[in-house]
Amino acid sequence: MCKTRKKLMVFCLVVLVFNISLSFVNASYISPHAYAKQHNQSQNNCGGFFSTPNGQSNLFSNWSSSHNNSWITNEMWTPFNGGNEWIETGDVCGAINGAYWSGHFVAVQKYNSSTKQYEYSEYTVGSSYPTGTHNFEVQYVGNNKWESYVDYNKTMSFSFNYTSSFDHCVGIESNDSDNYFTSGSYDSALQWKDSNNAWHNWTSATNGDSNSYNWVSSYSSSTNRITFTR
Protein backbone atom coordinates (compact mmCIF):
# COMPACT_ATOMS: atom_id res chain seq x y z
CA MET A 1 0.00 0.00 0.00
CA CYS A 2 2.75 2.41 0.85
CA LYS A 3 4.48 1.82 -2.48
CA THR A 4 1.21 2.37 -4.35
CA ARG A 5 0.57 5.62 -2.53
CA LYS A 6 4.10 6.78 -3.24
CA LYS A 7 3.71 6.07 -6.96
CA LEU A 8 0.39 7.90 -6.97
CA MET A 9 1.93 10.95 -5.31
CA VAL A 10 4.77 10.98 -7.85
CA PHE A 11 2.25 10.70 -10.72
CA CYS A 12 0.20 13.60 -9.34
CA LEU A 13 3.36 15.68 -9.03
CA VAL A 14 4.29 14.97 -12.65
CA VAL A 15 0.78 15.95 -13.80
CA LEU A 16 0.94 19.16 -11.75
CA VAL A 17 4.32 20.12 -13.23
CA PHE A 18 3.01 19.29 -16.74
CA ASN A 19 -0.05 21.48 -16.23
CA ILE A 20 2.03 24.38 -14.92
CA SER A 21 4.40 24.07 -17.90
CA LEU A 22 1.46 23.90 -20.31
CA SER A 23 -0.03 27.09 -18.88
CA PHE A 24 3.21 28.91 -19.65
CA VAL A 25 3.26 27.49 -23.19
CA ASN A 26 -0.31 28.73 -23.74
CA ALA A 27 0.43 32.22 -22.42
CA SER A 28 -0.35 34.61 -25.28
CA TYR A 29 1.17 37.93 -24.19
CA ILE A 30 3.71 39.15 -26.71
CA SER A 31 6.72 41.44 -26.62
CA PRO A 32 7.30 43.43 -28.69
CA HIS A 33 3.68 44.29 -29.40
CA ALA A 34 2.01 43.63 -32.75
CA TYR A 35 1.35 46.64 -34.99
CA ALA A 36 -0.53 47.37 -38.21
CA LYS A 37 -0.06 51.11 -38.71
CA GLN A 38 0.78 53.95 -41.06
CA HIS A 39 2.98 57.02 -40.48
CA ASN A 40 2.66 60.55 -41.84
CA GLN A 41 5.96 62.07 -40.82
CA SER A 42 6.49 65.82 -40.70
CA GLN A 43 8.93 67.87 -38.65
CA ASN A 44 6.23 70.52 -38.17
CA ASN A 45 3.33 68.29 -37.18
CA CYS A 46 1.31 70.28 -34.65
CA GLY A 47 -1.72 68.02 -34.57
CA GLY A 48 -3.42 64.93 -35.93
CA PHE A 49 -6.96 63.76 -36.64
CA PHE A 50 -8.70 60.57 -37.76
CA SER A 51 -12.19 59.11 -37.91
CA THR A 52 -13.27 55.50 -37.44
CA PRO A 53 -16.66 53.84 -38.03
CA ASN A 54 -17.77 51.21 -35.50
CA GLY A 55 -14.60 51.70 -33.44
CA GLN A 56 -14.10 49.20 -30.64
CA SER A 57 -16.73 46.83 -32.11
CA ASN A 58 -14.07 45.88 -34.70
CA LEU A 59 -11.64 44.89 -31.92
CA PHE A 60 -11.62 41.53 -30.13
CA SER A 61 -9.58 40.92 -26.99
CA ASN A 62 -8.54 37.70 -25.25
CA TRP A 63 -9.18 39.41 -21.91
CA SER A 64 -10.59 37.32 -19.03
CA SER A 65 -10.50 37.48 -15.24
CA SER A 66 -7.50 35.13 -15.29
CA HIS A 67 -5.88 36.78 -18.32
CA ASN A 68 -6.53 40.37 -17.38
CA ASN A 69 -3.78 42.35 -19.07
CA SER A 70 -4.82 41.60 -22.65
CA TRP A 71 -5.75 44.52 -24.91
CA ILE A 72 -5.98 45.65 -28.52
CA THR A 73 -6.34 49.26 -29.73
CA ASN A 74 -7.20 51.26 -32.84
CA GLU A 75 -5.64 54.64 -32.22
CA MET A 76 -3.36 57.49 -33.16
CA TRP A 77 0.01 58.36 -31.64
CA THR A 78 1.66 61.78 -31.34
CA PRO A 79 5.29 61.10 -30.33
CA PHE A 80 8.00 63.38 -28.96
CA ASN A 81 11.61 63.07 -27.85
CA GLY A 82 12.53 60.31 -30.26
CA GLY A 83 9.40 58.34 -29.37
CA ASN A 84 10.16 58.14 -25.64
CA GLU A 85 7.22 60.45 -24.85
CA TRP A 86 3.84 60.52 -26.54
CA ILE A 87 0.08 61.13 -26.45
CA GLU A 88 -2.27 58.47 -27.82
CA THR A 89 -6.03 58.32 -28.21
CA GLY A 90 -8.58 56.06 -29.87
CA ASP A 91 -10.49 52.89 -29.02
CA VAL A 92 -9.45 49.96 -26.85
CA CYS A 93 -10.88 46.53 -26.15
CA GLY A 94 -9.39 44.88 -23.08
CA ALA A 95 -7.36 45.99 -20.09
CA ILE A 96 -7.00 49.62 -19.09
CA ASN A 97 -6.00 50.71 -15.58
CA GLY A 98 -6.29 47.10 -14.42
CA ALA A 99 -9.91 46.62 -15.50
CA TYR A 100 -11.79 45.65 -18.66
CA TRP A 101 -12.87 48.48 -20.95
CA SER A 102 -14.34 48.60 -24.44
CA GLY A 103 -14.50 52.18 -25.65
CA HIS A 104 -12.53 55.41 -26.06
CA PHE A 105 -9.33 56.16 -24.19
CA VAL A 106 -6.44 58.63 -23.87
CA ALA A 107 -2.94 57.78 -22.68
CA VAL A 108 0.29 59.70 -22.18
CA GLN A 109 3.92 58.94 -21.44
CA LYS A 110 6.01 61.80 -20.05
CA TYR A 111 9.42 62.23 -18.53
CA ASN A 112 9.31 63.18 -14.85
CA SER A 113 12.36 65.29 -14.05
CA SER A 114 11.88 64.72 -10.32
CA THR A 115 11.92 60.91 -10.46
CA LYS A 116 14.01 60.84 -13.66
CA GLN A 117 11.62 58.23 -15.01
CA TYR A 118 9.28 57.98 -17.98
CA GLU A 119 5.79 57.66 -16.49
CA TYR A 120 2.76 56.24 -18.32
CA SER A 121 -0.89 57.06 -17.52
CA GLU A 122 -4.14 56.09 -19.24
CA TYR A 123 -7.73 57.30 -19.00
CA THR A 124 -11.10 56.05 -20.16
CA VAL A 125 -13.36 58.49 -22.04
CA GLY A 126 -17.16 58.51 -22.13
CA SER A 127 -19.29 55.38 -21.81
CA SER A 128 -18.33 51.84 -22.72
CA TYR A 129 -19.44 50.23 -25.99
CA PRO A 130 -20.03 53.44 -27.99
CA THR A 131 -21.64 52.87 -31.37
CA GLY A 132 -21.34 54.66 -34.69
CA THR A 133 -18.56 56.80 -36.15
CA HIS A 134 -16.21 58.69 -33.83
CA ASN A 135 -13.43 61.23 -34.34
CA PHE A 136 -10.12 61.53 -32.50
CA GLU A 137 -7.72 64.44 -32.39
CA VAL A 138 -4.54 65.63 -30.68
CA GLN A 139 -3.18 69.13 -31.25
CA TYR A 140 -0.82 71.78 -29.92
CA VAL A 141 -2.78 74.79 -28.60
CA GLY A 142 0.08 77.03 -27.43
CA ASN A 143 1.82 77.75 -24.13
CA ASN A 144 3.38 74.24 -24.12
CA LYS A 145 -0.09 72.67 -24.01
CA TRP A 146 -1.26 69.68 -26.05
CA GLU A 147 -4.90 68.65 -25.96
CA SER A 148 -6.78 65.51 -26.93
CA TYR A 149 -10.34 65.44 -28.28
CA VAL A 150 -13.02 62.84 -28.94
CA ASP A 151 -15.82 63.95 -31.26
CA TYR A 152 -14.48 67.54 -31.04
CA ASN A 153 -14.83 67.60 -27.24
CA LYS A 154 -11.65 68.14 -25.24
CA THR A 155 -10.80 65.12 -23.11
CA MET A 156 -7.36 65.89 -21.66
CA SER A 157 -4.68 68.60 -21.57
CA PHE A 158 -0.96 67.84 -21.16
CA SER A 159 2.08 70.05 -20.66
CA PHE A 160 5.07 69.28 -22.90
CA ASN A 161 8.11 71.33 -23.79
CA TYR A 162 7.50 70.61 -27.48
CA THR A 163 5.64 72.75 -29.99
CA SER A 164 5.51 70.04 -32.67
CA SER A 165 5.78 66.30 -33.18
CA PHE A 166 7.82 64.43 -35.77
CA ASP A 167 5.04 61.97 -36.67
CA HIS A 168 1.31 61.37 -36.90
CA CYS A 169 0.79 57.61 -36.66
CA VAL A 170 -2.55 55.76 -36.94
CA GLY A 171 -3.22 52.06 -36.62
CA ILE A 172 -3.76 48.95 -34.52
CA GLU A 173 -1.66 47.73 -31.59
CA SER A 174 -1.99 44.51 -29.56
CA ASN A 175 -0.10 42.91 -26.67
CA ASP A 176 -1.67 39.45 -27.12
CA SER A 177 -1.30 36.94 -29.95
CA ASP A 178 -4.93 35.81 -29.51
CA ASN A 179 -6.39 39.28 -30.07
CA TYR A 180 -7.69 40.25 -33.49
CA PHE A 181 -9.71 42.79 -35.48
CA THR A 182 -12.36 42.71 -38.20
CA SER A 183 -10.58 42.30 -41.53
CA GLY A 184 -11.53 45.11 -43.88
CA SER A 185 -12.12 47.66 -41.10
CA TYR A 186 -10.66 51.11 -41.78
CA ASP A 187 -9.77 54.57 -40.46
CA SER A 188 -10.52 57.64 -42.58
CA ALA A 189 -10.39 61.46 -42.79
CA LEU A 190 -6.70 61.45 -41.84
CA GLN A 191 -5.36 64.97 -41.28
CA TRP A 192 -2.35 66.74 -39.80
CA LYS A 193 -1.96 70.35 -38.62
CA ASP A 194 0.96 72.60 -39.55
CA SER A 195 2.63 75.32 -37.47
CA ASN A 196 0.23 77.93 -38.89
CA ASN A 197 -2.77 76.03 -37.52
CA ALA A 198 -3.86 74.90 -40.98
CA TRP A 199 -5.15 71.34 -41.37
CA HIS A 200 -4.15 69.14 -44.32
CA ASN A 201 -5.32 65.77 -45.57
CA TRP A 202 -2.76 63.01 -45.71
CA THR A 203 -1.49 62.52 -49.26
CA SER A 204 1.01 59.73 -48.58
CA ALA A 205 2.06 57.43 -45.77
CA THR A 206 4.88 55.16 -44.66
CA ASN A 207 3.98 51.61 -43.67
CA GLY A 208 4.89 50.66 -40.10
CA ASP A 209 3.47 47.12 -39.90
CA SER A 210 5.33 44.92 -37.42
CA ASN A 211 3.74 41.61 -36.48
CA SER A 212 3.85 37.84 -37.07
CA TYR A 213 0.12 37.39 -37.80
CA ASN A 214 -0.24 38.63 -41.38
CA TRP A 215 -1.85 41.85 -40.17
CA VAL A 216 -1.61 44.39 -42.97
CA SER A 217 -2.38 48.11 -43.09
CA SER A 218 -2.76 49.80 -46.48
CA TYR A 219 -3.09 53.53 -47.11
CA SER A 220 -5.03 54.91 -50.09
CA SER A 221 -4.55 58.57 -51.01
CA SER A 222 -7.65 58.51 -53.24
CA THR A 223 -9.92 57.73 -50.29
CA ASN A 224 -7.60 59.02 -47.52
CA ARG A 225 -8.13 55.74 -45.65
CA ILE A 226 -6.09 53.12 -43.87
CA THR A 227 -7.61 49.66 -44.39
CA PHE A 228 -6.67 46.79 -42.09
CA THR A 229 -6.70 43.15 -43.23
CA ARG A 230 -5.56 39.84 -41.79
Q: Which pLDDT value is given to residue 42?
A: 73
Per-position pLDDT tens, the chain of length 230 = 333 344 444 434 333 333 434 344 445 999 999 999 999 987 789 999 999 999 999 999 999 999 999 999 999 999 999 999 999 999 999 999 999 999 999 999 999 999 999 999 999 999 999 999 999 999 999 999 999 999 999 999 999 999 999 999 999 999 999 999 999 999 999 999 999 999 999 999 999 999 999 999 999 999 999 999 99
d(Cα 85, Cα 111) in Å, to the nearest integer? 7
- Report CA 184 to chain centroid distance, whole Å: 18
Give residue-wise pLDDT tens across range 199-223. Answer: 999 999 999 999 999 999 999 999 9
d(Cα 7, Cα 13) in Å, to the nearest integer? 10
SS3 22: helix
Q: Which CATH fold topology does 34-229 show?
A: Jelly Rolls (2.60.120)
Give residue-wise pLDDT tens across range 152-193. Answer: 999 999 999 999 999 999 999 999 999 999 999 999 999 999
Q: Which residues contact 209 (CB under 8 A, 6 or more apart)?
A: 35, 36, 37, 215, 216, 217
d(Cα 185, Cα 203) in Å, to the nearest integer? 20
* Number of helices and strands in the chain (H, E): 1, 17
The answer to whether the CB of 206 falls within 8 A of the CB of 38 is yes
What are the domain boundaries of the chain? Answer: 34-229
Q: What are the φ and ψ backbone dihedral angles of 24, each rounded to 5 degrees? A: -70, -40
Distances (CA, A) of 72 to 64, 77, 196, 201, 206: 13, 14, 34, 26, 22
